[in-house]
Amino acid sequence: MPVKLDYHRKLISAEEAAGLVKSGMWIDYGAICGFPSLIDEKLAARAKELKNVKIRAEHSHTIIPRTDPTQQHFIHNSWFLGKVEREYAKHGATSYIPFGLGEGPRMYRQWLKDKVDITFIEVTPMDNKGNFNFGAAVTRQKAACEVAKVVVLEVNEHMPWVFGGYDEAVNIKDVDHIVENHEYKIPEFPAAVITKEDKAIAALLAEQIEDGATIQLGVGAIPSVVGKLLIKHNLKDLGIHSEMLNDSMMELIEAGVVTGKRKNLNKSKAVFCFAAGSEKLYKFMNKNHTLAGFPVDYTNDPYTIAKNDKQIAINSALRVDLRGQVCSESVGTRQISGTGGQLEFTRGAYLSRGGKSFICLHASREQGGKQISNIVSTLELGDMVTVPAADVSYVVTEYGMVNLKSLSVWQRAKALISIAHPAFRDDLTKAAIKAGFITKGTIGLGWG
């Protein structure tokens, strides 16, 4: 059947798409910018008709938990909590799914292959060969389409068409229904507010990046500042191999700092699996031959990451304890975000020839009108360990940078105390001695 006829045969309204959902079903949303805004709205309107509908989403802008905060009708689950879902989780309306981001496609093809009733995914308009592109969210979308009993695409003209490596598109023959979304653009992610601490940390990081390095920048203000500083430092021929593409990376490409010429893998291509940023970024991405969108099991595979020499991984943390354990995703039992790809890129960059991995955090934060140290003697009860102590290399605060590799616990404790906020260093030292991290014979020694 000609693809245009097939398209019109499968075209339904958003209300009809939401009407496919029955009580007790498992529904999977597209990740991040693959979030189906219009269908979500129509499904939320059906709340009172449904019971125990279970939804899996990721960094989504869903309104469903807001319309059903007591979960009488919908059970919302998230692979990674963004700003919207974080508020729902605070009130018990969202549950976290622990996993490493690179596992996404395998999660569907192996563990969820019989457990997805419907998948709703935002895509580009169809091309003349019947293909829909996943655009700003290649991630795990193709795998979800392969296993879902029913595949529904929400077409959005604002979704950029991203040239890819593989699994960046799905063909109409593998799609059950199509919805046209003319009401919502794809989600934008405002730039984080930049502080003086961010600038200080970014300056330390920029000094560690050499010409020809390949970079991964995580979420938050620090990576954004790093991108701007790399332009000022006149670095040459940087490459990008990252899970996320953001506005600062776009600026690096536009400035000619990123060329990818020295990459070992996907030379001259900026590789990523999803984008999160401004409308300008999404327009920049559309049919841009300098970019390559891959599924996340490729971008986040540590052994793939390591194939590029001088791979740099820059990620943020909430707290680091004196043995070097990193918590980047929860405050006690309260989930803030997710593991994401932090551990995968930490390991991949370390395996790369000349590579470096950095964990960045502010030395302290304000909480309840008090200043609290983010370098802590031990993690709080309930904190999730995102990066184990054995995997951590560089830790950076606005007070300095230390490399924990090869250091024993007493050395690690002293090194981390040296980059803690000065107001907390004495108390941290006392706590380290009490815990036995700093032993009797090492009290008076330096850590280097």
pLDDT tens figures, 352-363 = 999 999 999 999
Mean pLDDT of 411-434: 97
Question: Distance of CA 190 to CAs 187, 214, 390, Å?
Answer: 10, 25, 34
Distance CA 179, CA 125 (A): 10
pLDDT tens figures, 239-259 = 999 999 999 999 999 999 999
What token pair was written down for 261?
Answer: 């010429």
- What one-letter code names the amino acid at 390? A
- Scanning 324-421, the segments in alpha helix (DSSP H) are 342-351, 409-418
The active-site residue out of 41, 85, 168, 243 is 243
**How do 244-245 and 214-217 pair as beta strands?**
unpaired
The answer to whether 157 is a known catalytic residue is no
Instruction: Classify burial at 193, counting beta carbons within 10 Å of its beta carbon; exposed 0-12, middle 13-18, buried 19 or more.
Output: exposed
Burial 57-90 (b: 16+ CB within 10 A, else e): bbbbbbbbbebbeebebbbbbbbbbbebbbebbe
pLDDT band at 365 (very low <50, low <70, confident <90, very high): very high
What phi and psi, each to the nearest 5 degrees, are found at residue 363? -65, -30
* Residue 152 pLDDT exceeds 80: yes
* Residue 303 pLDDT exceeds 70: yes
What phi and psi, each to the nearest 5 degrees, are found at residue 244? -115, 140
- pTM of the predicted protein model: 0.95
pLDDT tens figures, 366-415 = 988 999 999 999 999 999 999 999 999 999 999 999 999 999 999 999 99
Question: Distance of CA 374 to CAs 127, 198, 414, 422, 446, Å?
Answer: 50, 14, 15, 12, 22
pLDDT band at 341 (very low <50, low <70, confident <90, very high): very high
289 half-sphere exposure, CB direction, 13 A CA radius: 0
- What one-letter code names the amino acid at 146? E
Q: What angle do CA 8, 279, 67 make, to 5 degrees?
A: 70
pLDDT for 224: 79
* Residue 133 pLDDT exceeds 90: yes
Q: What is the largest CA-CA distance in the chain?
A: 80
pLDDT band at 315 (very low <50, low <70, confident <90, very high): very high
pLDDT for 191: 82
* Residue 227 pLDDT exceeds 90: no
Name the one residue in this structure whose structure tokens are 């077409």: 155
pLDDT band at 71 (very low <50, low <70, confident <90, very high): very high
> Helix, strand, coil: what percent of the chain each, to 5?
35, 20, 45
pLDDT for 1: 63
* Residue 417 pLDDT exceeds 90: yes
pLDDT tens figures, 189-222 = 988 888 999 999 999 999 999 999 999 987 778 8
pLDDT band at 52 (very low <50, low <70, confident <90, very high): very high
Q: Mean pLDDT of all residues in the chain?
A: 95
What token pair was written down for 372?
Answer: 């609290």
**How do 118-123 and 150-155 pair as beta strands?**
parallel
pLDDT for 222: 84
> Which among 60, 66, 65 is positioned nearest to 29, based on CA atoms?
60
* Residue 73 pLDDT exceeds 90: yes
- Secondary structure (DSSP) of 250-315: HHHHHTTSB--TT-SSSTT-EEESEE-S-HHHHHHHTT-TTEEE--HHHHT-HHHHTTSTTEEEEE
Judged by DSSP in three states, 179 sits in: strand
Q: Which domains does the chain have, with CATH numbers?
A: 3-180 (3.40.1080.10), 196-442 (3.40.1080.20)
pLDDT band at 265 (very low <50, low <70, confident <90, very high): very high
Length of the chain: 448
Distance CA 86, CA 313 (A): 25
Mean pLDDT of 2-27: 97
The helix (H) or strand (E) run that includes residue 372 is strand 370-373
Question: Distance of CA 336 to CAs 80, 340, 346, Å?
Answer: 9, 12, 20
